[in-house]
Structure 1
Amino acid sequence: MSENAAELDGYFPTYGEALAAHAQERPEQIALRYGERTTTYSEYDRHATQIANGLAAMGLKKGDRVAYFGKNTDHAVELALGTVRGGMVFVPIIWRLAPAEVDFIMQDSGADVLFREDEFTGVTFDGRIVSMEQEFEAWRDAQPDTPVTTEVGAHDPLLQLYTSGTTGLPKGVVLSHHNGTSTRPMMQKHGIYWYCADEGDSMIFAMPYGHIAGVGSALGATLGAQELIVHREFDPALLIRDVQKYRVKWMFLVPAAIRLLLAHPDAQNADFSSVKGLTYGASPIPLDLLKQGVERLKCDFAQLYGLTETFGTVVSLSPEDHKPENVVGREHVMKSAGKPIPGVEIAILDENLQPLPADTIGEVAIRGDAVMLGYWNRPEENAKALIEGGWFRTGDAGILCEEGYLYIQDRIKDMIITGGENVYPAEVESAIFGHPDISDIAIIGVPDEKWGEAVKAVIVRREGSDLDADGVIAYARERIAGFKCPKSVDFIDALPRNPSGKILRRELRAPYWEGMDRQVS
């Protein structure tokens, strides 16, 4: 790389060091706000130390996994910082997953302790469980605040986030401190203000904690010394209220949430004048929604593209590209993901992993400090994804144009993104295929105005069966998370397959995406 983030001003090797520095420089500034409860940076720092010491007293050591199952809370954010200050690895689990999916993650990760909200007592664990409501505060406050002696380095693992796999089994993405801390100083140097809010700025955190957009936002606010206003989950009425009450400057939402926000009756007369910027991800924003957003919020919009494997953002479409006066005549740019952020290289590879020229479709590959350490206990997957030269194969098909904009065309891995959630067809097919009245099944993503994409099942019934859509959906809901379940079902006589027997998903998707510029919403 031509620039070294570690040599730039404002670089912190670890999140624990960042928190300690902010506690020293701004001890009374509010770091976390959750309902009426506030935590200053001084308190945040002390709590993180107590949590690290408490985990050590349980017998955990550097590199051990600490799992969390619940929604967004200030205590969950403190737990993350305490875990990583102790040199352990934080494993936040998406709360919408089904119990069987959570069981797999707990076993695969080898977590030694589970911190769990009481709302999710259906999720069990053979090891130590700490109730967030009934035990956490008393347990935390009983621990000493003596300095943690474990040495934690920039390239030590920090997070293990689970993303659904093409085979149906989730994969643990292992990310280091440096994967996350290296981005901010690079962005600051190059003036990418919409990704690195100023110290003291307030931002709302409402995306699910088990996603990189969720826990990554919480860690990013800590790194940048912001005031993080924690919402348990996205609630447009609460967001509108808190923007006005706390004069919020920054938000990150998926386009589906932006649409819900603007459609809420409270948005009509709300005062959004404090909002400086709104970043969004998971899918491009429709032009009509962008126009509504700019007109109502009157703030900068920026698109962020990235993956769990890259600690989130690696490509961004700038506010300048979103301004209505700049969009005219350049609408095609709004269909792009943007340009690589400083410190990130993008290449388009052919099937032989050789680079392709501009304006040629191929597989998107990424190189930079943000690329993961690897998949947990998945050597074969690592060998496929992490290739020579430090490149990571994303599995997304795209085009890099002469101007440097990246256009995502399709998903080589067939992933569906619905309302910001990742769904893999193989996982859903595996869950449904056991139905006695199903002879064959394919899962595809189809356009959906509200969620961007919706999950559709295309099914071949067994001979003599009268299985209907409601029966399929009900069967799925017993086995997988609700957001992964089909929203609609088509019944056909036979699935299209190639000579080797592979389902031709593109052929199944084609009628639904006719007239669209690309096969990804």
Structure 2
Amino acid sequence: MGETVPVNNDEPLDPAKLAATAFKLLTENPLFKVGEAEIRGNTYRVFENAPASVVGLFAYGASHGDKDFLIFEGERLSFAEVFKRACRFANALRDELGIKQGDKVALAMRNYPEWCISYMAVISTGAVVVPLNAWWKADELKYGIEDCGAKTVIVDGKRLEYLKPLKEELGLRLVLARDKGEGADYSYEELLEGSNIETPPAVDIHPDDDYCIVYTSGSTGNPKGVVLTHRGCISALMSWSFIASVIKEMRGGAGIFGDNPGILLAIPLFHVTGSHSIFLLSFLVGRRVAMMYRWDPKQACEIINQEKLTNFVGVPSQSFEMMQAVDEAGCPTLLDIGSGGAKRPSNHVRKLKEKFKKANPSSGYGLSETNAMGCVISQADYLKRPDSTGRPVPPLTDIKIMKDGEEQPTGSVGEVWIRSPANFRGYHNMPKETAEALTPDGWFKTGDLGKFDEEQYLYIVDRMKELIIRGGENISCLEVENRVYQHDAVAEAVVFSVPDEVLNERVGLAVYAKEGMSIDAKELRDFIAEDLAGFKVPERIWVSPLPLPQLGTAKFDKLTIRQISLQHPPALSV
């Protein structure tokens, strides 16, 4: 899910005035002029005067000059300095490592300023950046690297230790950033210091060239590489900027991010909410980004107050925890509390408004496959409709509800389909899955079930895919089940979601032992944790005394198994 653009006003937006202002901007501001372009055989509405590539957006962001951009534990880097370092590192990657247009370069590190600079640098060479999940362990990292074909990986110290044993097997070159360690082939700092060219390499990048591969868990087991293009990313960022410009015009020139805009980065940059809605959008609009090393709700409130930040965007559990942790003084500079990655419980919306009186809760809907673009909702609209994820983002996004090949009328539930130039090109190395997800005329089938109300507000009501969304992280039930079955004592296993007020969902597991064997729930959990990232490891485990119920098709009856399990205490709860 993506982030909403915040609105610093408690009054609802008048739909007629909103439409009139949007039309005025579309006709008078050349930046937002909408035309048409053919993309992969289909015609789409596009921003006619948009930069040809994301590199053009970097150059625009650099115009914010010496203003603070990245703030991390006492370090401060300006917009201009970040751009210069990205250019120097890009030229070093090209000249020293031979990185060329179309190559895949992976990032395997936690949130650091070096992540942002490396991301920009890789893209500036015309290569394809591959942000890997920093919570993955060795086998998961190996899968992602092998799947995308990257031979160069920029790592921090922990990821270096994971990947050193795989270097020879995968033929990797490792570039170590931030940390000290043995076994890397290059040092980020040395490459940066050895380069003095502060302009991007000269590369002819087409708008529909690939720029990024983001991995997202699906119902098929292994994570899927979502291939994003330059035009797709630009379409999302400029659409959010368009909304901001419309509302600024309606407010008589008052900036919607505040007079001194700043946002807290407390979610992973390897997700599109972090990379797009926070990092890239902030570089474009001149908003400071204060980076957290590790999530802590009390510290988050302290940083917001110290830096006088105006925006927060995180998964719903984070804003809930901030609400519990904030002191009596509150966060007086905070104007917006955005939610992305998962649906925020509706009862949290009004509680947030009561706790952070000057801030408006907001939310959005988007996916990795759409560059985080989809719907947005905020302020009075959100307080009135806390279960909604908002209206489609203008002016490029179309959304419809489909069932049995027919578009559904208002109020009817069906699969949410999205069409815009921000849609992904396909799943890397997965033609079958790509054909199943993208229609010939360019609609993306999200796998989410939803409906529209009379005013075109979208409501997500369920999922078609066997996914658990834990604190914004997508988890494939099949991937976890595959690991469970590697345990010698497990005969049957079913993974399902367990409702949770803070994280939205947790990972539940029901197992049945092989004949003559027994299962110790804690030992089983420890076994699963050896190979899977921590967020995927079951937190509630039920050991069944009987074989798990099956349907007539010999498939497990997951609905019944989940219902029965939730009615009984688990053998293990963490």
Is the TM-score greater than 0.5?
A: yes
Aligned residue number for residue 129 of structure 1: 174
* Pair 1:55–1:46, CA change in 2 (3 A): same
- 1:489 is matched with 541
How far apart are 1:8 and its partner, in Å? Answer: 6.7
State how far apart, in whole Å, the 2-side matches of 1:319 and 1:396 are: 25
SS in structure 1 of the partner of residue 373 of structure 2: strand
Q: What does the per-residue CA deviation read over 1:449-471, in whole Å, with 9 as the maximum and x for residues that have no partner?
A: 22110110111211222213212
Label 1:196 to 1:467 Cα distance change in 2 as closer, same or farther (>3 A): farther
1:184 is displaced (CA, Å) by 3.7
In the superposition, relative to structure 1, how do residues 350 and 502 fare at CA in structure 2: closer, same or farther (>3 Å)?
A: farther
Q: Give the aligned residue type for 1:316.
A: V
Question: Cα gap change, 1:233/1:6 in structure 2, threshold over 3 Å: closer, same or farther?
Answer: farther
Aligned to 2:101: 62
Show the 5 A alignment for 1:13-162: 13-23=52-62, 25-57=63-95, 58-124=97-163, 125=167, 126-133=171-178, 134=180, 135-145=187-197, 147=199, 148-162=201-215
Tell me the CA shift for residue 16 of structure 1. 1.9
Report the Cα offset of residue 271 of structure 1.
4.3
SS of the counterpart of 1:285? coil
Are the equivalent residues in 1 in contact too, given 2:91–2:195 (CA < 8 A)?
A: yes
Which SS does the other structure have where 1:317 is aligned?
strand
Post-superposition shift, 1:511? 5.4
The answer for the alignment partner of 1:212 in structure 2 is: 272
Q: Specify the code of the residue in structure 2 equivalent to 1:302.
A: S
- Percent of pairs with identical residues: 26
Deviations 1:188-221 (A, max 9, x none): 4445759984796211111012211222221221
Deviations 1:488-518 (A, max 9, x none): 112332333332223332333345789xxxx
- 1:313-340 deviation per Cα after TM superposition (whole angstroms, max 9, x unaligned): 31122222233xxx3xxxxx32222221
Is residue 489–residue 517 contact of structure 2 (8 Å, CA) maintained in 1? yes
Q: Partners in 2 of 1:310 and 1:198 — Cα distance?
A: 27
Tell me, in whole angstroms, the C-alpha distance in 2 between the residues paired with 1:305 and 1:179.
16
Which among 326, 350, 353 is matched to residue 294 of structure 1?
353
Instruction: Supply the AA of the counterpart residue of 2:316.
Output: P
Does residue 251 (structure 1) correspond to residue 312 (structure 2)? The answer is yes
- Which residue, 221, 238, 241 being the options, matches 2:282? 221
Pair 262,129 (structure 1): closer, same or farther in 2 beyond 3 Å: same
Cα distance in 2 between the residues matched to 1:149 and 1:52: 11
Which stretch shifts more, 95-104 or 286-295? 286-295
Is 2:363 aligned against 1:303?
yes
Matches within 5 A, 1:380-459: 380-459=432-511
Does 131-140 or 305-314 show the bigger shift?
131-140
Counterparts of 1:13 and 1:33 in 2: how far apart (Å)?
29
Q: How many residues align?
A: 501
Residue type at the aligned position of 1:117: D
Counterpart contact for 2:511–2:543, Cα < 8 Å:
yes
Q: Partner of 2:13 in structure 1?
A: none
Distance 1:286 1:72 in 2: 27
Moved more, 102-111 or 490-499: 490-499
What letter is aligned with 1:208? Answer: P
SS of residue matched to 1:441: strand
Q: Secondary structure at the match of 2:195?
A: coil
Q: Does the CA contact (< 8 Å) of 1:208 and 1:214 recur in 2?
A: yes
Return the letter of the residue paired with 2:74.
Answer: E
CA RMSD for the aligned pairs? 2.4
Asked whether the equivalents of residues 86 and 152 of structure 1 are also in contact (C-alpha less than 8 Å), the reply is no
Q: Quick check: 2:258–2:310 contact (8 Å CA) kept in 1?
A: no
Please give the residue correspondences for 1:261-340 in structure 2 after superposition, counting only pairs within 5 Å.
Answer: 261-264=322-325, 267-298=326-357, 299-323=359-383, 327=384, 333-340=385-392
1:354 CA displacement: 2.8
CA contact 2:519–2:543 (8 Å) conserved in 1: no
Separation of aligned partners in 2, 1:377 and 1:198: 44
Q: Structure 1's 120 and 186: CA in aligned 2 closer, same or farther, altered over 3 A?
A: closer
Q: CA deviation at 1:252?
A: 0.4
| Deviation per residue, 1:375-398 (Å, 9 max, x gap) | 111111111111022100111122
Structure 2: which 5+ residue stretches go unaligned? 1-25, 27-32, 36-44, 181-186, 249-254, 568-574
1-structure distance, mates of 2:302, 2:212: 32
- Asked whether the 8 Å contact 1:417–1:453 carries over to 2, the reply is yes
Q: C-alpha separation between the residues in 2 aligned to 1:431 and 1:196?
A: 47
Kindly indicate whether the alpha-carbon contact (under 8 Å) linking 1:244 and 1:270 is maintained by their aligned counterparts in 2: no
2:385 corresponds to 1:347: no
Structure 2 SS opposite 1:263: helix
After TM superposition, give the deviation of residue 272 of structure 1 in Å: 1.2
Letter of the structure 2 residue corresponding to residue 63 of structure 1: G
Change (3 A) 1:200 1:369: farther
- Cα distance in 2 between the residues matched to 1:3 and 1:255: 34
Q: How many angstroms apart in 1 are the aligned matches of 2:60 and 2:337?
A: 28
Comparing 342-351 with 81-90, greater Cα deviation is found at: 342-351
Equivalent position SS for 1:240: helix
8 Å Cα contact 2:258/2:335 also seen in 1: no
Structure 2 counterpart SS, 1:166: coil
Stretches of structure 1 lacking an aligned partner (at least 5 in a row): 328-332, 515-521
Q: CA deviation at 1:17?
A: 1.4
Alpha-carbon distance between aligned partners in 1 of 2:348 and 2:236, rounded to the nearest angstrom: 29
Per the TM alignment, residue 70 of structure 1 is displaced from its structure 2 partner at its CA by 1.4
Q: Is the 8 A contact 1:29 1:200 kept in 2?
A: no
Mean Cα displacement is larger for which, 36-45 or 286-295? 286-295
Q: What is the rounded CA distance, in whole Å, between the counterparts of 2:416 and 2:438 in structure 1?
A: 13
Q: Is the 8 A contact 1:19 1:41 kept in 2?
A: no
Match of 1:182 in 2: 235
Quote the residue 1:235 is aligned against: 296
1:284, 1:334 within 8 Å by CA — same for their partners in 2? no
Judged with a 3 Å threshold, the aligned counterparts in structure 2 of structure 1 residues 221 and 313 are, in CA distance, closer, same or farther, namely same
CA contact under 8 A between 1:458 and 1:489: conserved in structure 2?
Answer: yes
Counterpart in 2 of 1:171? 224
Structure 2 letter corresponding to 1:505: K
Shift of 1:309: 0.5
Asked if the contact 1:240/1:270 (under 8 Å) is kept, the reply is no
Give the number of the structure with larger relative contact order, counting CA–CA contacts within 8 Å between residues 6 or more apart: 2
Counterpart Cα distance in 1 of 2:93 and 2:476: 35
Paired residue secondary structure (2:407)? coil
* TM-score using structure 1 length: 0.90
Note the alpha carbon deviations across 1:13-70, whole angstroms, 9 max, x for none.
Answer: 43321222232x3321122111211112221121111111111121111111111111
Distance 1:15 1:305 in 2: 22
Q: Please state how far the C-alpha of 1:426 moved relative to its aligned partner.
A: 0.3
Give the TM-score of the pair, scaled to structure 2: 0.82
Secondary structure of the equivalent of 1:165? coil
SS at match of 1:442: strand
Q: Answer yes or no: is the 8 Å Cα contact 2:156–2:177 preserved in 1.
A: yes
Tell me what 2:40 maps to: none
Alignment deviations for residues 113-153 of structure 1 (CA, whole Å, 9 cap, x no partner): 11111133332133111111242122112113154111223
Give the drift of 1:435.
Answer: 1.1
Distance 1:471 1:478, change over 3 A: same
